[in-house]
A and B are shown apart, each in its own frame.
Chain A
Amino acid sequence: MEKRTFEPPVIKRLNAGMPSKFGMTPRIEPMPEVEGLKVSELLKEFGSPLYVLSERTLRNTYRDAYQAFSTRYPKVQLAWSYKTNYLAAVCNAFHQEGAWAEVVSGFEYHKALKNGVPPQYIIFNGPSKTYEDLLLATRNGSLIHIDHFDELYMLLEVSDEAGTKPKVAIRVNMDTGIYPRWDRFGFNYDNGEAWEAINRIMLSGKMDLAGLHTHIGTYILTPQAYRIAASKLADLAVNTERKYGHVIRYIDMGGGFASKNTLKGAYVPGTDSAPSFDDYADAITGALVNSAIKPEHLPLLILETGRALIDDAGYLLGTVIANKRLASGRRALITDVGVNLLFTSFWYEHQIVPAENSSQHTEDTTIYGPLCMNIDVLRAAIDFPLLKKGDTFVIKRIGAYNMTQWLQFIEYRPNVLMIDTDGKPHIIRKREDLDYMTRQEVLPEHLKNAGL
């Protein structure tokens, strides 16, 4: 029999069977398998920690989202938001499903090209495009979404040099009745700035105003905001056609759909509060269909959903390094997953479950990562079973942003695994090593060695 580690006893209030105001206290279901593969074996084979992406969930989510819109509106196009997760395997899975690419920097633009996306299917967003970026995108016929007047003026010069008209849209920000109001990106609708931008573009004659774009915010919990945004864009489209006889060919509603993760400070869990694709689709398509746009000029509807498409498909697998009792008497767990790998833990209460059946006793626990930094907290307070050193766990819904905003900090970044639709694992990004870490470094001659 295995020798059991000693833990000093604690006194805990008995809370058996008493329902809280949301019903019974949630029993934490362990998650021994991801997509049919055993967590323990995956960790053994590919090392801990480990990112796992489910291709099946990813594709199914995409199809659900597409279907929610395509059964309500005749022309729908999704564009994969690269910043959410630009691992090539992820991007290409979405591209195979039919998604275009939505990029926000020269780097992302080139990455999309490298992935094999035809340039006319790339939407170039973002506030910081260089002259060279714009020139390339113009020559390639990509869709350029203008963020501010300085970009607009630069694009006029680009247009002269390229000798072709860039295909553009303007990004519009507006009051949709929600807080916070994003007014940092694009031209404001309510004060007439957006209309002024349209006027300048139309009167310049040097650009092809193909579409209108908005991105009202992120993790938007009320579909009503999209309805307001869509009808405001529709108004701009109608007015453009009325004044210039120019038909707006697409309306891009951006992203911002909530995933099922729970925001910090949220009153109810994300699984209960996040609207479904159908709710968003109903609001957006309803507004467009009911707008004053002529039925024969109904624009293509583009959506740049990122988070809601991939969050559910990602898992982060990790191992307990140590158990600790804090000075306050609070239980603490040190794991090999830190905020370096789980950037989103800054705003989500991530759902963490043990991989194997463990004690039915739970205790209010703080979960820390491995970093030697005070900020490295995964969950400040979670009712968690008593795990031992070496026990494994799964963090759910981490597909969005973590594989792009991760930090190379203190630790190497681990393997990223994708389990294909047949249940076969593929490493889609290799674990980093010293060689990778030092490859870009250049040592001046006099600092060639440590000299100790």
Chain B
Amino acid sequence: MKTITAIRQLAESTGNSYAQVFFSRNMLFALLLLGVSFIDLYAGLSGLVAVLVTTAAAFLFGFDEARITSGTYGFNSLLVGLGLGIYYQPSPEFYFVVVLASLLTLFISVAMEGVIGKYYLPYLSIPFILSIWLVLLATKQFEHLGISERGIYTLNELYGLGGQRLVNFHERVNALIPVPLRLYFLSLAAIFFQSKIIAGILIAFGLFLYSRIAFTLSLLGFWTAYFFYLLLGVNLAETSYSYIGFNYILTAIAIGGFYLIPSVWTYGWAVLLTPLVAILTLSLDPVFAVFKVPIYALPFNIMVLLFLYVLKFRTKERKYLKEVVIQQYSPEKNLYYDYNSRQRFDPAWIFSFRLPFHGRWTVSQGHDGSYTHQGEWRHAWDFVIEDNRGKTFKDSGDLLTDYYCFGKDVLSPGYGTVEIVEDGIDDNIVGEVNLIKNWGNTVIIRHADHLYSKLSHLQKGSIRVKKGDTVKPGDIIGKAGNSGRSPYPHLHFQFQATPYIGSPTLFYPFGSYLRYHENKPELMTYAIPQEGEVVANIEVNELLQKAFQFVPGQKIRFQTSGTPLARGTEWEVRTNVYNQSYLYCTETGSKAWFWTEDNVFYFTGFEGNKRSLLYYFFLAAYRIYKGFYREITVRDSYPLHLVYPRTRLVFQDLIAPFWIYLQATYELHYTWIDNPVMPSRLKMESKMKEQPLRFLIEIDTKGIAAFVITRDNKMLKATCIE
């Protein structure tokens, strides 16, 4: 078992090392590249040896396994191996040098990671360049290493491989392709030290398979350079190191789509940076010619690192050139995830606050209110309780205790520490106000730096917390009262950036709450309750709470019946080193990342097999509010690449940086419950609106009881057995 895992890991690391050269982790692309590298058998072999040695060494050293398997360490060695392999004749001595060079490359990679990783910069192919330079400069002294002539006499080699027919075929194909395009293919081939056009064509094909955006960017980079050279009166085809064309291609992919979220702006910068890369190429080439070493991808490395580093010094909103935070190793995925998360979450509202009371209260004064919520204090709320006749008090309303809200618990809106407690101010007689102690009895809670909440006009002597206390959402702070500038009992609530009584208010919404209209609730998320609205917190349903409380180590097993739409019936709850939790399908290795808060559960991402049960569960329970309300509709949107088949996305991918026309909407309804206050079973129905995909989730006291997928009239039922 252990050996199998080890072999799998090694295979994965090796594959990714190949794909990583093009910023990819696509296995198909990796296999294609592996094939391409073996167009020159010895070079291919040398490359493979380098990768295997590096990967094995990295594992033995005990570096981060996730980084090793992602190919981060391997791809530089691969390039070194290929570069040396094409340069020297194969011999035992040579392979020994390759092994040494691989180790050197690994060391440089790790060192580079330590040095520039601190600045959140990638080391790109710098380890390769340094390593191969060192080896090339040194091996000039090694007499036993024979310089190879391969790669120079292309036709000879082709003849050797496939006789005259292959040569003829090659010539014919060559003739069909216009010179600039031929150059483009050669540039692509040169990345793998290949000099044959067919290698370039295969790589271009693979690149298209891997990413439409990367493919268009490769064209964009190349043609920009081509025309720039024309403009300056230099023919790219005639420049000595014509294969250096790959610098433009790689720069365009890196800046236009990989390290930044692809957009019209990154495409623009890809175009702008290309001439700079050209200048770097032309200026550096003669310098390194002195040492008789090629500059390889040095211009690309310099330009990309420089640009990425410069971007980090921006202090304004990074809306236009947005850096990729979680790298998905695909420009499309990065783009769709980013687009999706912009639809789902507003990055400005990190904290999800709840309303500071039990039950339904009415906003008697909202933001920019007509009485006191004005100027610097405009982002505040006053809350009262109304009865069903719209009155805030019973009897005559002459006594404080006539008011429904008077003496009701006031709760903490979120996690925090109590910053200020002011108590001891008398509750006013109805109709009178205290203008000296405006805010009355007040509690200020610190939730984060520059984020405080303030609860005012509390009842004298009712405050239960003291300075320094830690509070969590729903903890009782005190009781609503009538102290301070309050003619009748109400709760004043505001967010503020500074911890003082009297600080100006801060615009910040509540995370999720219900707005009642004629007794019907409506779900509001990250919204501001408006004046006159009746609002309440989402009361958590104990079944939903329990069912979506996934504990790491927990195992869930299903039994399926119906059409076999999906497989993988055993899941495990896991957590990674970043403390992100996910459901893991043991059969398919798929992962569905999730996040839980007090009253909401949602999935943040999925990777793995789209024919797994877990994938469908990811779609079905994409966002669940843990309260059961028949009237509300939960809506959300999926990342496009996770729901649409590849074929439907090809065109969208091509134009995605400029315009996204596809939509993927999630909708959930709570449909049935046996007993709303003491439930033992409930049902929810969800769907992906744009496709014939319907789900039914059944929850009982043990958790998820069953889960039904309906796709195009075909149905699969998964019943939880553990």
Contact = CB atoms under 8 A, between A and B. Distances in A.
Interface of A: 59-60, 63-64, 67-68, 70-75, 77, 120-121, 210, 249-250, 276, 278, 282, 289, 295, 300
Contacts of B677: 75, 77, 250, 300
Contact of A71 (B401, B408, B474): B408
20 contacts: A67-B359, A67-B387, A68-B404, A70-B358, A70-B359, A70-B360, A71-B358, A71-B360, A72-B359, A72-B408, A72-B409, A75-B677, A77-B678, A120-B675, A121-B675, A249-B678, A278-B404, A289-B476, A295-B474, A300-B678
Grouping DSSP codes into helix (H, G, I), strand (E, B) and loop, the B interface class, with mixed when no group exceeds half, is: loop
A229 B385 CA distance: 28
Contact of A64 (B357, B359, B394, B474): B394
B622 to A, nearest CB: 26
B576 interface: no
Contact of A74 (B404, B408, B539): B539
A281 B360 CA distance: 16
B364 to A, nearest CB: 15
B358 A73 contact: yes
Nearest to A302: B677
A300 B675 CA distance: 12
Closest A-B pairs by Cβ, 4 of them: A71-B359, A70-B359, A63-B388, A77-B677
B408 A67 contact: no
B140 interface: no
Contacts of A72: 358-359, 408-409
Interface string B389-431: 1000010000001001101110000000000000000000000
Name which of B360, B394, B675 has the most chain A CB atoms within 10 A of its CB.
Answer: B675
Nearest to B474: A295
A77 B394 CA distance: 22
Nearest to A143: B678
B391 to A, nearest CB: 11
B674 interface: yes
A109 B385 CA distance: 36
A60 B389 contact: yes
A210 B358 contact: no
Nearest to A64: B387
B358 A276 contact: no
B678 A210 contact: yes
A289 B359 CA distance: 15
Nearest to B536: A70
Contact of A282 (B387, B407, B539, B678): B407
A258 B678 CA distance: 28
The interface size bin for chain B is 20 to 34
Contacts of A77: 677-678
A276 B358 CA distance: 19
Contacts of B394: 64, 276
A54 to B, nearest CB: 14
Contacts of A250: 677-678
A152 B388 CA distance: 42
Given A67-B360, A120-B675, 11 more contacts: A59-B388, A67-B387, A70-B360, A71-B360, A71-B361, A71-B405, A75-B677, A249-B678, A278-B404, A289-B476, A295-B474
Interface string B176-189: 00000000000000
A338 to B, nearest CB: 34
A67 B404 contact: yes
Contacts of A295: 474
B256 to A, nearest CB: 50
Contacts of B387: 60, 63-64, 67
Interface in B524-567: 539
Contacts of A249: 678
A71 B539 contact: no
A121 B680 CA distance: 13
A161 B408 CA distance: 48
A219 to B, nearest CB: 21
Contact of B674 (A74, A120, A300): A120
Contact of A60 (B357, B360, B388, B674): B388
Interface string B498-521: 000000000000000000000000
Contacts of B404: 67-68, 71, 278
A380 B351 CA distance: 67
B387 to A, nearest CB: 6
Contacts of A68: 404
B541 to A, nearest CB: 10
A249 B680 CA distance: 11
A343 B25 CA distance: 85
Contacts of B359: 67, 70-72
A392 to B, nearest CB: 29
Contacts of B401: 278
Nearest to A286: B409
A59 B519 CA distance: 14
A63 B390 CA distance: 12
A344 B463 CA distance: 44
B398 to A, nearest CB: 15
Contacts of A74: 358, 539
B147 to A, nearest CB: 75
B360 to A, nearest CB: 8
A99 to B, nearest CB: 12
B701 to A, nearest CB: 10
Contacts of A63: 387-388
Contacts of B674: 120
B235 to A, nearest CB: 75
A76 to B, nearest CB: 8
Contacts of A278: 401, 404, 407
A59 B360 CA distance: 18
B555 to A, nearest CB: 21
A73 B677 CA distance: 13
A52 B658 CA distance: 71
Contacts of A67: 359-360, 385, 387, 404
A70 B360 CA distance: 8
A32 to B, nearest CB: 23
A276 to B, nearest CB: 7
Contacts of A276: 394
A250 B405 CA distance: 26
B474 to A, nearest CB: 8
A295 B473 CA distance: 12
Interface string B363-391: 00000000000000000000001011100
B363 to A, nearest CB: 15
B385 A71 contact: yes
Nearest to B475: A295
Contacts of B360: 67, 70-71
Contacts of B675: 120-121
Nearest to B359: A71
